[in-house]
A = this chain, B = another copy of it.
């Protein structure tokens, strides 16, 4: 591909990203970036159309970049303004650096992604491999309830209210707590279940019911093993390309059917790191040909792995969005690593 072709493709993409409407040869010529007459530009555009990088909606409209055209732009033509990247990085670190816990961190990450890009921000968490119990604590809450707190090695905290065994004293409860901690520390979930069952059988602790409850908890399919945080859906409604209610509808479905979107995409990038872009039909999500997804993987201590990014219209300023997603992923990784 000749340099001129690349140049013109770049201009078409830029103009299209700015305006959203098909761009014609006249417009580009008047813009004066390339010092060519409309006719010459038309010739080149014709070539680009034959190459499958542009296409015209109809005879008398301008040209719109195809998915492949945008991909070419993202992969080879796009340059990221270092100043802009710097600014973004500041904004991101400002918002993330003092998050109090993992939950808060990820929540802020989504909302920061959303507010910087004006699209919907997504963050998914997945525990890779098996979780270990790092700590288990029983806290008397009332005469009938005990609060059980479990901390896993990935820094996740889970609470549950359990029934308090009859007439058990705070002190005794504390002993049970200490004993269970010895028993279950650094235990995988499966192992924990096994040990709890054994403990129940020996019933040394007069707290059969409590153990039963704990075991039931451990038995429950660990639903939040894969979570998804989303924010800024509303901003998608502001996008002119989503004037058609149908697109919004499928977009929202895709987001609400939580896992599917990210699971699907996360599979693809199992090994790779760095930012990945799925433009239009590349992600093969039905009815979402007008939608692009920009994702990056992040990692933290204790086998925490996740994917984070934004979902928005195909026509987005990739040169802005990519660095934002990239920086956010790096910061989240850093903060989870320091945990």
A residues sitting closer than 8 Å to B (CB atoms) are 100-101, 134-135, 137, 139-142, 145, 147, 149, 151, 155, 157, 159-161, 233-234, 237-238, 242-243, 245, 248-249, 252-253, 256, 339
- Least CB distance from A106 to B in Å reads 14
Q: Please state the number of chain copies in the assembly.
A: 2
Complex CA distance for A256 and B238, rounded to whole angstroms: 14
Determine the chain B residues whose CB is within 8 A of the CB of A134 once the complex forms.
141-142
Determine the chain B residues whose CB is within 8 A of the CB of A141 once the complex forms.
134-135, 151, 155
Complex CA distance for A180 and B92, rounded to whole angstroms: 36
Q: Is the interface of A mostly helix, strand, loop or mixed?
A: mixed
Complex CA distance for A253 and B238, rounded to whole angstroms: 11
**Chain B residue, CB-CB nearest to A236:** B252
**Chain B residue, CB-CB nearest to A234:** B252
Complex CA distance for A101 and B147, rounded to whole angstroms: 10
Complex CA distance for A134 and B139, rounded to whole angstroms: 11
A137 close to B135 (CB less than 8 A): no
B161 close to A159 (CB less than 8 A): no
B151 close to A149 (CB less than 8 A): no
Partner of A234, one of B135, B151, B242, B253: B253
- Least CB distance from A234 to B in Å reads 5
Known contacts A101-B160, A161-B100, A245-B248; is-contact A135 B145 (Cβ 8 Å): no
Determine the chain B residues whose CB is within 8 A of the CB of A155 once the complex forms.
141, 145, 161
- Least CB distance from A170 to B in Å reads 10
Please name 8 further chain A to chain B contacts, defined as beta carbons within 8 Å, in addition to the given A147-B149, A233-B233, sorted by A numbering: A135-B140, A139-B149, A139-B151, A141-B155, A145-B155, A145-B339, A237-B249, A238-B249
Partner of A237, one of B139, B142, B248: B248
- Least CB distance from A221 to B in Å reads 14
**Chain B residue, CB-CB nearest to A137:** B139
Q: Which of A149, A237, A256 has the most CB of B within 10 A?
A: A237
- Least CB distance from A124 to B in Å reads 19
Complex CA distance for A234 and B151, rounded to whole angstroms: 34
**Chain B residue, CB-CB nearest to A136:** B139
Partner of A233, one of B137, B147, B157, B252: B252
Determine the chain B residues whose CB is within 8 A of the CB of A100 once the complex forms.
160-161
Known contacts A141-B134, A141-B135; is-contact A237 B233 (Cβ 8 Å): no
Determine the chain B residues whose CB is within 8 A of the CB of A157 once the complex forms.
147, 159, 161
Determine the chain B residues whose CB is within 8 A of the CB of A160 once the complex forms.
100-101
**Chain B residue, CB-CB nearest to A102:** B161
Question: Mind listing 26 A-B residue pairs with CB under 8 Å?
Answer: A100-B160, A100-B161, A101-B159, A101-B160, A101-B161, A134-B141, A134-B142, A135-B139, A135-B140, A135-B141, A135-B147, A139-B149, A145-B155, A149-B149, A149-B159, A157-B159, A157-B161, A159-B159, A233-B233, A233-B252, A234-B249, A234-B253, A234-B256, A237-B245, A243-B245, A245-B248
Determine the chain B residues whose CB is within 8 A of the CB of A242 once the complex forms.
245
Complex CA distance for A140 and B134, rounded to whole angstroms: 10
Determine the chain B residues whose CB is within 8 A of the CB of A245 once the complex forms.
237, 242-243, 245, 248
Complex CA distance for A147 and B242, rounded to whole angstroms: 44
